[in-house]
Structure 1
Amino acid sequence: MGLFMHKQFWRLGFSLLMAFWLGLGALVSPAAALTTEQKLVSEVWRIVNRTYLDETFNHQNWAAVRQKTLSASFDNNQAAYQAIQKMLKSLDDPFTRFLDPEQYRSLQVNTSGELTGVGLQIALNSQTGKLEVITPIAGSPADKAGIRPRDRIVKIEGIATQNLTLDEAAARMRGPIGSFVTLLIERDGEGEREVRVTRDRIALNPVVAELRSSPDNQPVGYIRLNQFSANAAMELAHAITNLEKKGAAGYILDLRNNPGGLLQAGVEIARFWLDSGTIVYTVNRQGIEGSFEAFGPALTQDPLVVLVNQGTASASEILAGALQDNGRAQLVGETTFGKGLIQSLFELSDGSGLAVTIAKYETPKHRDINKLGIKPDKVIAQEAITREQIATNADQQYQAAMELLTGKSAG
């Protein structure tokens, strides 16, 4: 008997709660005692001092770090930026980072829906220190060039990435449409190879949705969510509503190679599926737990299977964990990426930005998934497939999800 036999009624719940803040940092005092550049350094120090998750600041005297940094003289903003980066590097947290005004604007564009470059979502692996691909964006130049999740980027235009911050690496891959960038890629079992990628405009269309037929001719809504951008929740709500009108009797939600994005979007999307229950717990350095709840009813009562893999990260893992722990969905695929830290984004007084790890999250059953990931209910390994083969007969994970949803063989 398939999951179609177990229906409950759900409708939309919407949240205005924010988990990704944009705000000004505190100004230093007395103002007259510090230069403009020193004020910026002190502004960054105070935000970290007030909000950073690790109250030991990587087992160092954070006040002494401030005193040492401010003892130097800064001739210009660039000198201050370098001092700030050095100060933050002492925290040994790749996610707590300074963004110059151009990088800060680029990050805002990225989460709003469009950017120019090669189309890679990247992260620094906290265990190896290597620059790692979370996923190429669907249809992007990097995707077409065959770059895959978990590939390591060793060099960008001959520059070793071990000497670059995450944002410096991203900036080197961006550039004018039609220009080229050469990447040295390392892959498990294949060694290193050079890839030349043509930059282009990257459209971040977060949702792909269509009505499919199961092996027993049941109408199934297939939804692929590529990123938790600012418009993702609205687009996904429209997709579910339209598929409900077309008679969908169950859903497959594809979160494979979704690198995450805005936590707020992940919480809102969880509410589309959940009638009640906790979505995620957040824990700051005081150990205080906040939580986001579903207050339903949800958009649909229909059964749900969620597809995940190693490229499923961050906000995607929050959504997958919420649906799994609440018994709303079964997960199919491979263990997820394992990013369980939450960053807050602050706008600084000169137009630059600061991303700070301010909390970690736990699933509704209090699982800490950082560096561990979420194990699916049904583990299905998969050979590499092309973009065109996703959600087809060549897609073993998709076929397993369809079989689980309907209780019938998809063979």
Structure 2
Amino acid sequence: MISKKKAVIGAVLLMAVTFLLTNIFNVTIGNKVIISKSDYQEFQKLSKVRFLKDRIEDEFYQDVKEEDLIAAMERGIFDGLDDPYSQYYTKDEFKDLMEMTSGSYVGVGIVVSPGEDGFITVVAPIEDTPAEKAGILPGDKITKVDKVKYSAKEMDKAISIIKGEPGKEVVLSIIRENKPEFDITIKREQILIKSVKSEMMDEIGYMRISSFDERTGEEFDENLLSLKNNNPKGLIIDLRDNPGGLLDQVKEVADSILGEATIVYTEDRAGNRQYLKSNSSGKLDIPLVILVNENSASASEILAGAVRDNKAGTLVGTTTFGKGLVQNVVPLKDGSGYKITMAQYFTPNGEYINEKGITPEYVVEIGEEDTEDVQLNKAIEVIREKNK
């Protein structure tokens, strides 16, 4: 016969095992599943979402597509972060995002950002594209696409509409400083981006980097070699209106001009740091000036900060855009994906530039009355002074 004490101990052990099974593991008993308490609470929340979706499908005055509601729910998770750079992308949108950094896509040739004022804001038109030729300017606010209103939260949807078939037109409604809203009609084209261009200006090499896409590092090295064959007395790298791009391409450029140095470091919410360093394979042995302005953003700011903090060159122009956040792009199995802000970044000397930007050593404003590129002229002057 089992003693009363042993029976009590057995009951306690049974209760403990049951608690562990139901709060740590999911257990199947017959055709029923026992789930943990936390999982059940989570299931209740998700059930409410499913309930609301069903109610909308049953009660909304128009027909709705289930896939549209699901996509909206997926977007909503990222909307809850209140971070304009963290976003969910449908399969088609994710494909468009990948094309944007490949250097070839159909569109009008603009880089946009979600503005804090709720508008889709043009960071910069890409050089030699329909948008630039049509007169789109940095800072323009896009309010409508083909007469349909879009806010900053709907930026990705607006981008998907702006893209389309080459040869077809799209109408962008624009708000520009001190002007009433107006429309610009732009014909879509196959955009083939050559992100690096160069030329000799007397005895000084000049290189323009319009964005950092998949071939920028390779194009930079090709152009740098061509300039070096002319024995330049200095190099100007123009990052004005460069909206950024791929960090690995910044590293490739830095490898060719910095030598072994810290380019940038990131810090996540737990305080963990990761350092990105250039290798020792290349270091520029001539004076270097970096041109920047208020539309130099993200990846271009990283390069500018690395050059400044490593005393590898001089910055000329105006204070940069101020984007000090790093995003990770993650593809999902169904072809969709998401972009999430995973860390802050700091210049090698530890400066956090978000919403502040980088102020160059020589601040040079371009006035409406200026008929010459006074910033470029100052860059040439700085190089000539260093050669004395």
TM-score using structure 1 length: 0.77
Aligned counterpart, 1:20: none
Would you say the 8 A contact 2:263–2:278 is kept in 1? Answer: yes
Deviation string for 1:181-212 (max 9, x for gaps)? 11111122233222111111111101001122
Any idea what the Cα deviations from partners look like across 1:353-406, whole Å, max 9, x if unmatched?
111111111101111111111111111111479xxx9xxx82111111111111
Deviations 1:129-182 (A, max 9, x none): 221100000011110111111111122122222275221111111111121111
Alignment of 1:221-236 (within 5 A): 221-236=205-220
| Contact 1:344 1:356 (8 Å CA) reproduced | yes
Q: 1:128 aligns with which of 109, 113, 117?
A: 117
Deviations 1:59-104 (A, max 9, x none): xx99997675466567843332111012211111111111111111
User: Is it true that 1:157 corresponds to 2:146 in the alignment?
Assistant: yes
| Corresponding residue of 2:34 | none
Q: C-alpha distance in 2, partners of 1:65/1:240?
A: 57
- Structure 1 residue 400 and structure 2 residue 378: aligned? yes
Contact 1:69-1:87 within 8 A present in 2 as well: no
Match of 2:200 in 1: 211
Matches within 5 A, 1:299-310: 299-310=283-294
Which amino acid is 1:341 matched to?
A: L
Matches within 5 A, 1:327-366: 327-366=311-350
Instruction: For 1:12-31, list aligned pairs within 5 A.
Output: none
Structure 1 spans left out of the alignment, 5+ residues: 1-28, 33-60, 214-218
The amino acid across from 2:110 in the alignment is L
Q: Secondary structure at the match of 2:151?
A: helix
Alignment match of 1:296 (pick from 270, 280, 290):
280
TM-superposed deviation, 1:306: 0.6
Given the superposition, is the C-alpha separation of residues 204 and 381 from structure 1 closer, same or farther in structure 2, using an over 3 Å criterion? same
From the superposition, tell whether residues 163 and 364 of structure 1 become closer, same or farther in structure 2 (CA, over 3 Å): closer
Is 1:138 aligned to 2:127, yes or no? yes
- The residue correspondences of 1:108-119 to structure 2 (distance < 5 A) are 108-119=98-109
Q: Residue in 2 aligned with 1:58? A: none
Q: Quick check: 74-83 or 322-331, which moved more?
A: 74-83
Q: Does 1:316 align with 2:300?
A: yes
CA contact 2:114–2:153 (8 Å) conserved in 1: no
Kindly indicate whether residue 83 of structure 2 is the aligned counterpart of residue 93 of structure 1. yes
Deviations 1:262-284 (A, max 9, x none): 11111221221112321101011
Aligned to 1:368, the other structure's residue is in SS state coil
Moved more, 134-143 or 374-383: 374-383
Distance 1:384 1:322, change over 3 A: farther
The answer on 1:370 being equivalent to 2:361 is no
Contact 1:94 1:166 in 2 (8 A): no
Provide the C-alpha distance between the structure 2 equivalents of 1:117 and 1:297, rounded to a whole number of angstroms: 38
5+ residue gaps, structure 2: 1-24, 29-40, 55-64
TM-score between both structures, scaled by the size of structure 2: 0.81
In structure 1, give the amino acid aligned to 2:349: K
Return the alpha-carbon distance in structure 2 between the equivalents of residues 130 and 383 of structure 1: 26
Percent of residue pairs identical: 34
Query: How far apart, CA to CA, are the structure 2 residues paired with 1:381 and 1:286?
Result: 40
Return the index of the structure with the highest Cα Rg.
Answer: 2
**Separation (CA, whole Å) in 2 of partners of 1:66 and 1:383:** 56
Q: Which amino acid aligns with 2:149?
A: A
Which residue of structure 2 aligns with residue 243 of structure 1? 227
8 Å contact from structure 1 (residues 149, 310) kept in 2: no
Q: Does 1:197 align with 2:186?
A: yes
Aligned residues: 339
Partner of residue 50, structure 1: none
Higher fraction of helix: 2
Which of structures 1 and 2 has the larger relative contact order (alpha carbons within 8 angstroms, sep 6+)?
A: 1
- Quote the Cα distance in structure 1 between the aligned partners of 2:46 and 2:313: 48
